Structure 1
Amino acid sequence: MPVVTFRAKTGKKGDQTVTYAVAGSHTETVLKLAQQHDVPIAFDCEDGNCGTCCVDVSVQGDKAPMGGHLTDKERQTLVEIGKLKRAEIEKTYTDDFPPPHRLACQLILRDEDVLVEY
């Protein structure tokens, strides 16, 4: 089963590791997973408009990143809050590689181990 490790950037709380089921959870976002395990990722709208839930995501282990592609809304919000430049957007298209900054309310994980820094 895939493993998600949540790490606070501010060092307020130690790492929290969560094993999650892939089957049937392909619509569960990182934010929902965090809420289920009392991980305090900040959020406001839960719809990808505000950028409050921006997190840094890195794949752990030797698997290639599988995280879903950016939605148009997520892409626009990440640009507006300064986490993603237009050149980086093009790179995500050409390299088929998700960027490190994502919105927790939009990101749906696949079968991969990841570190989520909030």
Structure 2
Amino acid sequence: MPNITFSNPSYRDKTVYAVAGSHTENILSIAREHKIPINFECADGECGTCVIKVTSLSDKPRMGSFLTDKEKVVLKQTGKLTAEEVEKAEVGDQPPAWRLACQMIVRDEDMLIEYT
């Protein structure tokens, strides 16, 4: 079970346990379950308000994770991802630093989630 530490400049850091690979839980649903105030509007990957920065806290290399089509569009439109970073994620299995909390499924790695 990975540890996820949520961090925000106006909110004290909070670390929670999560179930890796559960397709019913994403970072946003975990945050909401633990009363962590990540902003969101649609919770469907279309608005981009739940953008997060993901940093691995594990000693092992970051695990790749699937970017949804909605997520690719929104993160490219907001300037958080370049076409090159999307290609690295899809072809090279190199996860990008920026994700949407409503779209990211937890992998088996400890991570820091930064949000505003």
* Count of aligned positions: 115
Q: Structure 1 unaligned segments of length 5 or more: list them.
A: none
Alignment of 1:11-22 (within 5 A): 11-22=9-20
Alignment of 1:72-111 (within 5 A): 72-111=69-108
Which stretch of the first structure deviates more once superposed, 39-48 or 79-88? 79-88
Q: What is the percentage of aligned positions where both structures have the same residue? A: 50
- Structure 1 residue 67 displacement after superposition: 4.9
Distance in 2, matches of 1:67 and 1:94, equals 10
User: Runs ≥4 in structure 1, deviation > 3 angstroms?
Assistant: none
Q: Tell me if the contact between 1:79 and 1:86 (Cα under 8 Å) persists in the aligned partners.
A: yes
Instruction: Show the counterpart of 2:59.
Output: 62
Distance in 2, matches of 1:68 and 1:27, equals 15
Summarize deviations over 1:23-65 as a string: whole Å, max 9, x none: 7x33200000000111100000100001000000011121222
Structure-2-length-normalised TM-score: 0.91
Structure-1-length-normalised TM-score: 0.90
Residue identity opposite 1:4 in structure 2: I
Summarize deviations over 1:60-103 as a string: whole Å, max 9, x none: 12122225211111101101111111122122233211100000
SS at structure 1 position matched to 2:102: coil
Inter-CA distance 21–93: structure 2 relative to 1 (3 Å threshold): closer
1:6 aligns with 2:6: yes
Q: Structure 2 unaligned segments of length 5 or more: list them.
A: none
